[in-house]
Amino acid sequence: MRCKKFVYTSAIVLLTLLTFSVGKGTAQTTANGPYYAWPSWDQTLPSSTRFIVLSNFNSQAVLDRETGLVWERSPSTTVSGFTSIECNNKTVGNRRGWRLPTIQELMSLIDPTQLSPALPTGNPFQIQNVSVGYWSATNFDDPDGSSTKAWAMGLPVGNAFVATKTTSGLFIWCVRGGPGVDRQ
């Protein structure tokens, strides 16, 4: 019994040391896997420990340790209308299984204290144009029951807004993992 208690106590001390030994600054650009995405929706992690650029995805994807989601490091640079086909057919870091994120998932990336882009300081994303909006997979429920609109996220100020699906002025930022939603 004493041995088990020692092992348990040692593990807690080690985890505490690892947690507090990570310095502030820019996001970690590489890490040996496994990455152990411990979603922490109830915590606010600094960018230096929140985001990990995944070397096993050829550094083309980023793990968000707050949510457990894996994001494209470099989102789409061409505008499009509402579509999930781009994500469904995408290969990033030699991996398939990408999808259009929900509005809640997109908004989880936002830091309301930042502008243009409204992303956490020191994040590892490679955004080409910060004055854009991104489609989500979340339909806007029109009063008439149609699904002609969807929620989108504006990156400059981090706002959610509704756009008509035929609008072709928004970008796509694909995600992998999580439960998602299939209302596309």
Residue 58 Ramachandran class (φ > 0 left, ψ -120 to 50 alpha, else beta)? left
Q: Tell me, what's the pLDDT at 38? A: 61
Q: What is the pTM of this model?
A: 0.76
Q: Dihedral through CA 77, CA 82, CA 84, CA 90, nearest 10?
A: -10
Q: Cis ω on the peptide bond leading into residue 34 (within 30° of 0)?
A: yes
**What is the identity of the amino acid at 148?**
T
pLDDT, tens only, 107-154: 999 999 999 999 999 999 998 877 789 999 999 987 877 778 999 999
Q: Tell me, what's the pLDDT at 47? A: 85
pLDDT, tens only, 51-90: 999 999 999 999 999 999 999 999 988 888 888 888 999 9
The domain locations on the chain are: 69-176
Residue 25 Ramachandran class (φ > 0 left, ψ -120 to 50 alpha, else beta)? left
pLDDT, tens only, 140-153: 987 877 778 999 99
pLDDT, tens only, 20-45: 333 344 555 555 555 555 666 677 88
